[in-house]
């Protein structure tokens, strides 16, 4: 999978979830060591944020919304 394909898949999935189910927010628990995934999510508009919905119990976990 190329970088562009991954980003396209994320954007397409987000759009589909919104139009089909009305989902307004997607919350991700991401391993901090997965730099490529973090960059792809950021390009798609996700930001590093804290949320009460996911506990950052894992040492290497970050939350992206």
pLDDT recorded at residue 2: 54
pLDDT recorded at residue 3: 59
pLDDT recorded at residue 61: 86
Q: Which residues of the chain have pLDDT under 50?
A: none
Residues of the domain holding 25: 3-64
Cα→Cα distances 20→3, 44, 61, Å: 26, 19, 29
pLDDT recorded at residue 65: 86
Asked whether the beta carbons of 63 and 27 are under 8 A apart, the reply is yes
Domain count, the chain: 1
pLDDT recorded at residue 59: 83
């Amino acid at each position: 999978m190329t970088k562009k394909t991954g980003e396209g898949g994320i954007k397409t999935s987000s759009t589909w979830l919104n139009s089909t189910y009305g989902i307004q927010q997607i919350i991700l628990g991401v391993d901090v060591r997965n730099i490529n995934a973090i960059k792809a999510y950021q390009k798609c508009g996700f930001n590093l944020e804290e949320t009460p919905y996911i506990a950052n119990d894992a040492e290497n976990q970050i939350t992206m919304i």
